[in-house]
Structure 1
Amino acid sequence: MSFAEGVRDHLPEGMHLPDAFAVTFDWLEAQGWGGVFRQADPGAFSSRYLSIYPPEQMDQPGGSYVLFSFEAGPPLHAPPPEAMARISMIAQIAGDGGTLSLWLDDTGKQWFVVFNHGTPHVLTDDPLKVLQFLAMGYPEPGALFDARATPQEEAGGDTLTLPTAFREFLEGQFSVHIPARASDLGIVVPPDEVEDPIRHWLDQVMPEPEIGAIPGMTAENPYIITSELREVLEDEGIAAIREAYEFVIEEE
């Protein structure tokens, strides 16, 4: 099964893989730029990825963090069935977990959305603009805060390793140009406090829980560190939890 076929098979009902992405996935796979995440189940489709770089360039300094991969639902804790049925990740685009996902709105229209530290925003509904954006060379496209910045400005003084072959493929296959800035594509990254369609929708299907329902926020509902959790986190991790939550207890 090809990567594109796998994505199609795993997308929820009503969602679709845009043709431009299918063609791109097929090209990346034909170049041999796919793989399986380390320490992942090799039999699970979610363990597979496609890179926008050849294998010998994937770990070079200054590369852009873009790995096409699939995972159902949003990158949020305990999403409800409504979110699982309407959001699917199709790429990891930041080292801290930022993602590119597909979102089906209430009218049945499909959008590309970015989740940056769990905060989403609509990117665009145009697949080609998304591919152009991913080819620009931003170090972490999913962590971009100012779409008016160039990739070099975003990288500061660091040297960039641009995905040259990927850019050339997109330009030749789709007759598009890779612009200097994300804003040249009409992309805007709204501040966290600004209203955005995907934020509004998630607020409806995933309302903020009451403080008392969040472990560690009240004495009646403390964050419980089990013996198993202690073994995994060790002293440094336990200290971080105690700093983050006011009410923490450890099991004997």
Structure 2
Amino acid sequence: MTSAFTTAVRDSLPARLVLPPEWVTTFDWLQAQGHVAELHGGPLAGVHRVSDDASSEVGFHPAEPDFMKFWLGNEDVDDEIAVVVRTGGDGSHAALWLDPGGVQRIVHLGSGSGSTAIGILVENPVDLLRLMAIGYEELCWPENYELTPAEASAAERNGDDEDPDVRRFTPPRSFQAFVRHTFEVSIPERACEIVGDLVDMDDGPGASTDPFAAWLEQNRR
């Protein structure tokens, strides 16, 4: 039976975009395992249980229809992109994007006020699940991609193990097991093993051959 969360995300997508079947399977599992909660103004499905104190800032949510209107100042592209993944507490997201050749891709949009990373994030829907399963609290910081989540957490604590505002790394073991067994894949130790070469939006136009970065520049108003 299709979960309410799956239905909410599917119904939020523009007609030209398709919810990957691997994500449908994942959404149904996340809801059944208690990983969906009303957070940040709507339902969010994360890699940790809702009750887990180590729940991350990373999770799936229904598409935000006005996101690109504010990000680009252009609402004419709403049928080509759907922001459906929260990648950081700063307002960074990942999205399904239909490129000019008609290929559906997974891309990253840094908030600009925090992360400035944009570009093709991973190659396919299962790779995004593998990336999320590594266990980073946030996925929007390329400077952490060569660190394991435990190393990134330790670096953030900077020796202060008593800081209540810094959560210790807790692996999302049940989600890792689900992804590994359901899709018969491995889980990388570090994001750099799976993430593409993201672009820094502050580098300006023409600084990269990334097709999503080029599309953003062409559609900025």
TM-score (norm 1): 0.71
1:67 to 53, 59, 68: 59
Matched, 1:54 2:54: no
Q: Deviations over 1:8-45 (max 9, x none)?
A: 2221121111111110000001112212126x4xxxxx
Aligned partners of 1:147 and 1:188 also within 8 Å? no
2:34 to 25, 29, 32: 32
Measure how far apart 1:3 and its partner are: 1.4
Largest Rg, 1 or 2: 1
Distance in 1 (CA, whole Å) between partners of 2:31 and 2:74 is: 33
- Taking only aligned residues, the RMSD between alpha carbons, in angstroms, comes to 2.1
User: SS state of the match for residue 85, structure 1?
Assistant: coil
Measure how far apart 1:86 and its partner are: 1.3
For 1:84, the equivalent position in structure 2 comes to 78
Distance in 2 (CA, whole Å) between partners of 1:187 and 1:147 is: 10
User: SS state of the match for residue 143, structure 2?
Assistant: coil
Q: Deviations over 1:92-142 (max 9, x none)?
A: 110111111111111111111111224421112311111100111112112
For 1:123, give the aligned amino acid: L
User: SS state of the match for residue 56, structure 1?
Assistant: coil
Indicate how the Cα distance of structure 1 residues 145 and 121 shifts in structure 2: closer, same or farther if over 3 A, else same.
farther
Measure how far apart 1:186 and its partner are: 5.1
TM-score (norm 2): 0.80
Structure 1 unaligned residues grouped into runs of 5+: 41-46, 208-252
Structure 2 unaligned residues grouped into runs of 5+: 158-167
Counterpart mapping for 1:211-230 below 5 A: none
Q: Number of residues paired by the alignment?
A: 197
For 2:194, the equivalent position in structure 1 comes to 185
2:9 to 7, 10, 15: 7
User: SS state of the match for residue 156, structure 1?
Assistant: helix
For 1:134, the equivalent position in structure 2 comes to 132
For 1:153, the equivalent position in structure 2 comes to 151
Distance in 2 (CA, whole Å) between partners of 1:74 and 1:102 is: 13
Aligned partners of 1:73 and 1:79 also within 8 Å? no
Measure how far apart 1:79 and its partner are: 3.5
For 1:169, the equivalent position in structure 2 comes to 178
% same residue: 30
Indicate how the Cα distance of structure 1 residues 186 and 52 shifts in structure 2: closer, same or farther if over 3 A, else same.
closer
For 2:161, the equivalent position in structure 1 comes to none
User: SS state of the match for residue 120, structure 2?
Assistant: strand
Larger RCO of the pair (alpha carbons < 8 Å, separation 6+): 2
